[in-house]
Copies of this chain bind each other. A is one copy, B any other.
Amino acid sequence: MGRSMARHLMAAGHPLVVYTRTRAKAEELVAAGARWAGTPGEAAAEAGVVITMVGYPHDVEQVYGNPDGIFETARPGTLLIDMTTSSPALARALHTEAKSRGLAMLDAPVSGGDIGAREARLSIMVGGDPEDFARAMPIFEKMGKTIVHQGPAGSGQYCKLCNQIAIAGGMLAVCESLAFATKMGLNPSTVLESITGGAAGSWGLSNLAPRVIRGDYSPGFFVKHFVKDMRIAIESARHSGLHLPGLELAERLYARLIAEGGENFGTQALYKLYEAHPRNPEGR
């Protein structure tokens, strides 16, 4: 996703300095005129705006906090934007640290996937100070279509977790409906004709159910990343005294899917559990 997003920024005339752990991933951008940096800190040293998009909260911490990281080199006034789906608590901590160094910081995770990134149609969910959001808007507009300020630091992450929580229930909906259809001897494609257009309808039913029926479990969105997000959501919720049994059930099911080797499938592979263990998908 980062590559597509960076390409839109270059196309809009922004000079880019890029760093990735795997340099090969940046070759295309470098060939198109981006300058390569050897460390995150080097990439940030002369930038007016720094955008990060990495894997896990741990990676975010390192990219900002390591001795060769962004905080060490960013000049006062620089606007830092973390677009990783990460922990709200970490987003708040980084915001505080950034402020204490005279930097501005936003958390701005996205949804829309590879296609949304390629077509600059991402939904960008933003947490941070309103004036920083306003400052970032011209940049966000190059990458996304639905760009919403959700509140103070961490709120972008909370909103993205709302998105993931809704997807978790949606995947239960899709997979259990298909498992039932198949078990009862119906043709699941014919069932979709009847139910996709009504109150049972969802993005997942329209887009992922047909993949399940074809036996296509390729990602889309990786199971391993989805589990990361669900765990952050569960932890954040519990910390605030909220228990979300549907989300927790989905996390248990996906954890079993990973235990059975499914971490690099797409989220629709949840269906495999119902196929392999119809009497006990949870494995309890």
Contacts and interface: CB of A to CB of B under 8 A. Distances in A.
Given A111-B199, A201-B203, A194 B241 contact: no
Contacts of A148: 190, 193-194
A180 B165 contact: yes
A281 to B, nearest CB: 6
Interface stretch (A3-11, A72-80, A93-101, A166-174): A166-174
Given A155-B184, A158-B180, A179-B242, 6 more contacts: A161-B180, A162-B186, A162-B191, A163-B194, A176-B246, A198-B203
A165 B199 CA distance: 11
A264 B198 CA distance: 22
A183 interface: yes
Contact of A162 (B167, B181, B281): B181
B155 A186 contact: yes
Interface string A139-172: 0000000101011000100110111111111111
A233 interface: yes
The range of chain A's interface size is 35 or more
Contact of A244 (B113, B116, B180, B185): B180
Contacts of A236: 180, 184
Main secondary structure of the interface of A (DSSP, over half): helix
Contacts of A172: 169, 172-173, 246
A198 B111 contact: yes
Copies in the complex: 2
A125 B194 contact: yes
B245 A281 contact: yes
Nearest to A113: B199
Interface stretch (A18-26, A57-65, A272-280): A272-280
A31 to B, nearest CB: 31
15 contacts: A111-B199, A123-B194, A125-B195, A151-B186, A162-B195, A162-B200, A166-B200, A169-B169, A169-B246, A170-B170, A170-B199, A183-B240, A202-B202, A202-B203, A242-B279
A88 interface: yes
B181 A158 contact: yes
A104 to B, nearest CB: 21
Given A111-B195, A158-B186, A173-B173, A202 B166 contact: yes
A189 to B, nearest CB: 11
A146 B187 contact: no
Nearest to A208: B199
Contact of A241 (B111, B164, B186, B279): B279
Interface in A94-145: 111-113, 116, 123, 125
A151 B246 contact: no
Given A186-B151, A193-B146, A280 B221 contact: no
